[in-house]
Structure 1
């Protein structure tokens, strides 16, 4: 089976991608900042599934680290057949008056790294005539909730354009647009989500299973669960003034955050 490279592999959806791909007998390249956590995960995956697991510690807000991951994608040794651009974090601050360095780091991880790694993977995969790129966005891409929405809107639009360009090459591009998912994501970003009802939440295993099934089928936009497909359809039909009003409400009810995202 093809090798899969996953960014943000040590936690959240990235961790679930690693387990599901390993149990499907894919060799893995795991990318995240925490090398100790990656090594522990690699040992667990190898012991449980018998797959080959490489560890590639990298901070995707650092251009040199992004380039090291891009070089791995270009490598002909154990070629990567699936790229999962999953790394990201919750900023949870207002743009006006917020820490601009934090905004730049989020942009680098969730936009620039996706662009650079997709470029490296697409060129190499197209040369071989096969492969897949899965970029993780969010239903937030349709909203107006700060720069996080803007980043995810870019990922969604970029992936759609990439899918058009790759048509006929044997390489596919899919963008995953989940809603709220039970992972460490919000906790690590110090985001209080207790006001959201349980029906709003998805389980990571079903989100990842849907995403991988959609990649296999060549689906361009993957939105797990009927309820979020309905939500996405409604939001696209709303006047943008109404969408902006929702974004304003969400900012009003969220508590200010001084925690460090990771």
Structure 2
């Protein structure tokens, strides 16, 4: 099995664990017997989740857009006497609308969490995994990684980076005892879209119902994919088909369709 076995000196660190996919991945790992370390900004939400988990949990409140907070994270985690055997980089955010109308601070904050934090935490925790010849990394991207995303240009590009970066990691880690998997979910009803600035109704109008997958199913497929050492996990058959088609469709045809349907580019916004 590619997923390290639980142990008293091991933990699975899950970022963005206060809600949605992150919370469900933490729950799924805990149900498999893993101690989990929950990381997000909201200590209250993390404490509430930790109280529900059967496998033991530690709460580490941290803002992953803050480079100093990320630097301090390994020592805060290792203070418990546990080493990170599983790293789940799930924390993320998105902006909405054309780049020409964007807020530079919001764009940079998104890239800091969606891209820089992923690289930072992999760089900090992978050396220990490789030295112990045991570990698994799950980096959360999106089906947006397989296509441009006008209306969320920075977010789409960030997820394409995560996909490419994690595949490169997997190549580097062959034979090391450590695996790297990219999770690429399609639309999931987690409140993520609302935080980005568009309603569930907007999203459902742009994305067919067949593409929607629950956060619990996404988490189940993600952990299963890690256990099997899969390179890429795309939950939902409709999303796998859509990702494959988007990847090969000429951009001259794809871009006008995507721009027309994206709620962030509606003229009435």
> Among residues 125, 129, 136, which one is paired with 1:132 in the alignment?
136
Aligned Cα RMSD in Å? 2.0
8 A contact 1:12–1:204 mirrored in 2:
yes
Residue 20 (str. 1) matches residue 34 (str. 2): no
Q: 1:201 aligned to 2:212?
A: yes
Structure 1: tracts of 5 or more residues without a match: none
Task: Report the CA distance shift for 1:9/1:252 in structure 2 as closer, same or farther (over 3 A).
Answer: closer
The answer to whether the aligner puts 1:227 opposite 2:231 as a matched pair is: no
SS of the counterpart of 2:64?
coil
What secondary structure is seen at the aligned counterpart in 2 of 1:180? coil
Which residue pairs with 1:179 in the alignment?
A: 186
Deviates more, 1:177-186 or 1:66-75: 66-75
**The residue matched to 1:30 in structure 2 has which SS?**
strand
Q: 1-side partners of 2:17 and 2:62: how far apart?
A: 11
Q: Which runs of 5+ in 2 are unaligned?
A: 1-5
Given that residues 74 and 125 in structure 2 are in contact (C-alpha distance below 8 angstroms), is that contact kept between their aligned partners in structure 1? Answer: yes
Aligned to 2:73: 69
Secondary structure (helix, strand or coil) at the match of 1:248 reads helix
| 1:107-137 C-alpha deviation (Å, 9 max, x unpaired) | 0000000001011121110000010000000
Between stretches 21-30 and 71-80, larger displacement belongs to 71-80
Matches within 5 A, 1:1-262: 1=6, 2-45=10-53, 49=54, 51-72=55-76, 77-145=81-149, 146-192=153-199, 193-195=203-205, 196-251=207-262, 254-255=265-266
Higher relative contact order (Cα pairs below 8 Å, separated by 6+ residues): 2
Runs of 4+ in 1 over 3 A off after TM superposition: 70-76, 250-258
Partners of 1:190 and 1:257 within 8 A in 2? no
Q: 1:253 to 1:10 in 2, by over 3 A?
A: closer
1:132 aligns to what SS in structure 2?
strand
